[in-house]
Every structure is written in structure tokens, then in C-alpha cells.
Amino acid sequence: MIILPFLPVTMEEAKERGYSQLDFVYVCGDAYVDHPSFGAAVICRVLESLGYSVGFIAQPDWHSTKDFMRYGEPKLAFLVSAGNIDSMVNHYTVAKKRRQSDYYSPNGEAGLRPDRATIVYCNKIREVYKKAPIVIGGLEASLRRLSHYDYWDNKVRRSILLDSSADLLLYGMGEHQIKELAEALESGIPISEITFLKGSVYKTRDLSRAYDYIMLPSYEEVCSSKEVYAKSFMTQYNNTDSITAKTLVEEYREGYVIQNPPSEPLTREELDKVFSLPFMKDYHPSYKDKGGVPAITEVKFSVISSRGCFGSCNFCALAFHQGRVVSSRSHESIISEVTEMTKDKDFKGYINDVGGPTANFRIPACKKQLKFGACKDKQCLFPKPCKNLEVSHKDYVSLLRKLREIPKVKKVFIRSGIRYDYLIYDKDETFFNELCKYHISGQLKVAPEHISPSVLSKMGKPEREVYEKFTKRYEQINKKLGKNQFLVPYLMSSHPGSDLNAAIELAEYLRDIGHQPEQVQDFYPTPGTLSTAMYYTEIDPRDMKPVYVPKNPHEKAMQRALLRFKAPENYDLVFEALKKAKREDLIGFGEKCLIKPRKMKFEENKKGAKKDRSKISENKTKTSKNLKTEKRDSKIKNKHRK
């Protein structure tokens, strides 16, 4: 049997490996990139390491069944994923306009996957293979595992398990589940009987299969009442920890959709093993003539050091997908990976990133989490840091120092998100100093998102004073180091809780610090986030109190324009917003004003009009004089004729 570097993408390549029928066929909405940043590659390599044969079908033509028949029917199951991100987010902006490119496709070409890719792919497979087991996973399936608000349809949709006609859904990161699934299928257990996997969702008409469960409101109930939807979502949100979560049951006309508790996070040893698998760390050679796959650019020379996030920003789906308990790789594993990177012909000496969902989280929030799970009734950093929170960067500092010493490594950057509040809570400033000295290239991107208390409380972000304390210390450290390095704050407009007054408050803050953002992100209601539940219901599920939600496109445009109030193209929207909010005090010539008054523009137009009238008058005078001269000359000519 010949071992080829990439997984087979054709039946011919499968036969070269000695396979006449594959155990699994993986269908994916992304191009095939064999890198641990791509969930599809991870699952396939894990299966391969367990001795199973896997064939890859990347971005199949969904207009026919031909591509889906490439390998024939697999022995065990079809595995289906939309790719690294939700296909609707991949295709549409927050304004629901079609994106012009696709980061995960060859040469960034758009249109190589369908909307709702998981559903479409499964239905095409089912057209040909009526009884073949189909298992769905990836982010799209994970965040749509139970009834959910869909921004693009503007309605509550059913569990994706029902709409896709798949047999089983695996949610979360998936390594544990795929191993247990493969072993169960290989042992001869029918897919309909595999109802016991942690981190899985299945459908049944027999409720007796569920044990120690919470009965959620039915699909009909969550569709008919926003209050019921908010309560149901909060129950789901509070059951995302592998230790404390219970089984959740949701009733539909077709029967029940049952979510088993999440799978345990991978241990350090297990994570190390996953990252030691023989990834090619590149896109498939077949894309070379097509311009490659843009998504590889940032990750090829980056390192994933951790998983999970206890930051719990309400607009982020990480808690719903990866969970709140942080697990990290060993120093030895990461050093080995970076050492291999330095041998790559394209390596220039720069590591783009060493991080994860949050770069400076490499240890669990507290020891209690490992035994009792993440708390259901409180968060680690919001609104104040928990008294049990362990704030330490010692392990991260030690790791970064080792990476800087590797031969051929010139610079190690940190570009994934840093929690500035966690950083400022650390009394030991060693990491803060070394971050500024070694790991920034002129600017550091951080995410305060907003400064208005009414918005920050809905975002789950720390109060403004924490960010200001961080910025002050950042400036002091850079000054001490003799470095002229800047902060680039990520800001979000139109998040639930943000009215025009809150947007103006943020604009005033930007005026005071002298920062004009190049881009501003509107809040994007994606599945699986607390903020999306607020957006749909206009209720905060945490206390069931009403929330102001900007939904009108024109108001959202005004909020966005306020954050870039200096841009000439935003003048009219900013003027309108300030008038509407009765904040005319910000229109004028004072240093605290955001824009100059319209009168100035009117006066300029008036002066222009005066000049025009003067020219007209001058032209009229000239014309009158010319007519008189012509008449006089005409009389003289007539006299001479006589």
C-alpha cells in the first residue's frame, strides 16, 4: 500500500493506497487544506490515525449527484460539514449583501458552495444513497443543533438535523466523538442505535432513550413566543459544560431531537497527539494553478496553542462550540511544530501568531472548573473578575521565550485576540512588558467593542475604566521601552442595548482619544450567541428584561457613521443622528464638536451664488454696452450710405 501525503481526493488515489471501498467519505464546503486550523482535516487525520480509510470531497457541484458518487457508498458513513464557518455568514454581509469572495475557496472565488451547505449536501447524498448513514458536524451544524433564530430568514428554524435528513449530529470540536462513532459503526451497531455519544444530537420517536434530561419548550412554542424562546436559549446556554450539563430534549411534530451533554475537552496529551498527526500544512496541490487557497496565508506560520475560552463575550459562539474550559498544548509540542516550520522553503523567520480563541488564556480559569465544571450562574471576568480566577501569564511567557530562541526564528507575533482585562488584572507585568518589547509589530489589536455601560453590559464586556487603565499602562510601558507603538481598538455598532445616545457616547470617546477607525463592524446576529437571542427577542435572557435593539437599517447606518464622524461621506448621517438625539451641541466649531454646522456649507454656497450673480450682472452690462455700440455704429454706416 502506497502512503500518499494528502488524503485521497479521487477514487484513483484511493486505489493507489490499496482501498477498494472507503470507510468514510468526508464532504466539505471548504477547499481541501490539510492544516490543523481546518476542522475537516483534523477529523480526517484522526480517523486515519485510528486505521480507517477516508476520502475527501471538497466543494462538490451540488447541481447534480455526480461528485457525491465519486467513491461509491462508504462502508461506515458519509461525514458532512459546511466548512470552517457557517455557509450563510460565509456568503452574506450583515447587510445581507452577497460577498464577492470566499476566503476558503481556490483563488478566493465565490459561489463554489451553496447556501445552507450542510442541508444541501446531505439531501444530494440521500438522493443516491437512501440508507447510507450520514453524520453532520462542523461549526454550521454545531451552532444549529437545536431550534435557532436564523437572521437571513428572519425566523426560528428547526434543528439542522431534521432539515438535513442526516442520522446524527456531532457538535463541538469532535475528536472524541468521531473516534467513538467509528468504533461503534465498525462493531456493527446501526446508526439509529448510536444514541449514547457525548457531544452528539440524535432524533427519535422514543423518549425513553433519554436519561436525566431537561425538557425544553417544543419547537412550536419557541416559534410562537419570544419569551419562551429566550428562556429556552438560556437553558441551552447553561448546559454547555461537559461536567455540569444535562441532556436536553426538544419536541417536534416528527418526534424528539435529543442533545446529549458535551464531550470532555481534550487533555494536554490528547491535544499534543492531534497536532503531531502528519498534516501537510498546505492546500491540496490541485489548487496551485488556480491561485491557491487564501485561508492558508495567515495560518501556515501560526501556532494554535490552546482551545476554549472563559471570556464569554455574549456576541461570540465559542462557549456554545468549544466550551469555557481552556486546555492547552505542551511546550514541547509547540516547539516541535515551530522547528518544523523553520524548514519550510517559504519561511522568512516570522511566526504570525501563537494563540487560540484568546491568546493569553493557556490555563483554566480556576482549579474548581476541572472538578466541578464552569459555573452556570456567573462568569469568570464579567462584570468583575471572579475571586477564584487564577490570573497568570507565567506559562505563556515561558513558552514565548523558548520560541524566540529557536534558530531561524526572527520574530514571534501575537495576533489572535488578547483579553486586555485579564492582562491588566495580572500584578506581575512580565508578560505585558515582553508583549510590548518582542511580540508587536507597531500596533496591537484589542477589542473593547464599546465604552457605553448600557452596551457593555449586554456584550458581557468589562467597564470602560478597565480599558482606559490598560491603554494608559500600554502607553507607559512603550514609552519606557522607547517604542512608538499604537493600539487599534475593534469597535462594534448596533449591538443590542446600543441606541443613538450610546453611539454618540462612543463617538465622543473616539474624538477625545483622537482615533478614527478605518472600519466598523455592525453587530452580526449569528446562531448560537446570547446577543443573537437578544436581537431576535428584544429580551435579555439572563434577567428577562427588555432590551433596546436597533434593527432599522437607517438607524444602523447612523450608528455606524457616528463612529467615523470625520469621513466626509458620513456628514449627512452624523448630522441627522445628532439632530434626532437632540445633541446639536456637538455641531459647531468648538473642540468638542463632532462636525461643523450646515450653515457653513450654506454660506459657502451663498458666496458661490453671489459670485455667479456678479458674473451674470457683469455679463449683462457688457451685453448692454455692446448693443449700444452696435446701434451707434449702425447709424453711422447708414449716414455714409446716404
Question: Mind listing the pLDDT tens digit for each residue in 544-596?
Answer: 999 999 999 999 999 999 999 999 999 999 999 999 999 999 999 999 999 99
Torsion, Cα 495 498 503 508, to 10 degrees, reads -110
CA-wise closest residue to 87 among 140, 159, 135, 136 = 140
Question: Mind listing the pLDDT tens digit for each residue in 35-74?
Answer: 999 999 999 999 999 999 999 999 999 999 999 999 999 9
pLDDT above 70: residue 345: yes
Q: Considering the chain, what percentage of its residues have pLDDT values greater than 90?
A: 89
Indicate the range of 289-303, 459-473, 511-525 predicted with least confidence: 511-525
CATH topology classification for 301-440: Transcription Regulator spoIIAA (3.30.750)
126-136 mean pLDDT: 97
Whether the CB-CB separation of 461 and 382 falls below 8 Å is answered with yes
Question: Mind listing the pLDDT tens digit for each residue in 9-38?
Answer: 999 999 999 999 999 999 999 999 999 999
Please give the pLDDT value at position 574.
97
Please give the pLDDT value at position 635.
45
Please give the pLDDT value at position 610.
52
Residue 240 burial (10 A CB sphere; 0-12, 13-18, 19+): buried
Q: For the chain, give every domain's residue range.
A: 11-199, 301-440, 442-596
Please give the pLDDT value at position 312.
87
Q: Provide the residue type at 493 as one letter.
A: S
Please give the pLDDT value at position 213.
97
- Report d(CA 214, CA 236) in Å as an integer: 10
CATH architecture, domain 442-596? 2-Layer Sandwich (3.30)
Please give the pLDDT value at position 519.
80
Question: Mind listing the pLDDT tens digit for each residue in 315-331?
Answer: 999 988 999 999 999 99
- Cell numbers describing residue 558: 447612523
What crossing angle do the helices spanning 394-404 and 331-341 adopt, rounded to 10°?
30
Whether the CB-CB separation of 276 and 489 falls below 8 Å is answered with no
Provide the pLDDT confidence category of residue 518 given band limits of 50, 70 and 90: confident
- Report d(CA 306, CA 304) in Å as an integer: 6
Strand 411-412 relative to strand 350-351, pairing: parallel
DSSP-derived secondary structure for 147-167: SEEETTTTEEEPPHHHHHT-S
Please give the pLDDT value at position 618.
53
How far CA 283 is from CA of 93, 290, 345, 553, in Å, comes to 26, 11, 15, 39
Domain 11-199 identical in fold to domain 442-596: no
Please give the pLDDT value at position 224.
98
Q: What is the mean pLDDT of the chain?
A: 93
Count of positions (residues) in the chain: 642
Please give the pLDDT value at position 641.
37
- Cell numbers describing residue 383: 462584570
pLDDT above 50: residue 510: yes
pLDDT above 80: residue 214: yes
What is the C-alpha R_g of the chain?
A: 30
171-184 mean pLDDT: 97
Question: Mind listing the pLDDT tens digit for each residue in 76-121?
Answer: 999 999 999 999 999 999 999 999 999 999 999 999 999 999 999 9
Run of H or E including 320: helix 318-321
- Report d(CA 450, CA 507) in Å as an integer: 10
Collapsing DSSP to helix, strand or coil, 2 comes out as coil
pLDDT above 90: residue 372: yes
pLDDT above 70: residue 637: no
Please give the pLDDT value at position 599.
64
Please tell me which residue, 549 or 610, carries the higher pLDDT value.
Answer: 549
Domain covering 11-199 assigned CATH 3.40.50.2000 in the classification: no
- Cell numbers describing residue 417: 485576540
Provide the pLDDT confidence category of residue 377 given band limits of 50, 70 and 90: confident
Please give the pLDDT value at position 636.
40
Ranges of beta strands (E only) in 239-371 are 247-252, 255-259, 282-283, 302-304, 306-307, 327-328, 350-351, 353-355
CA-wise closest residue to 44 among 162, 178, 165 = 178
How far CA 513 is from CA of 144, 376, 489, 501, 517, in Å, comes to 41, 38, 11, 19, 11
pLDDT above 60: residue 609: no
Please give the pLDDT value at position 441.
86
- Report d(CA 183, CA 50) in Å as an integer: 10
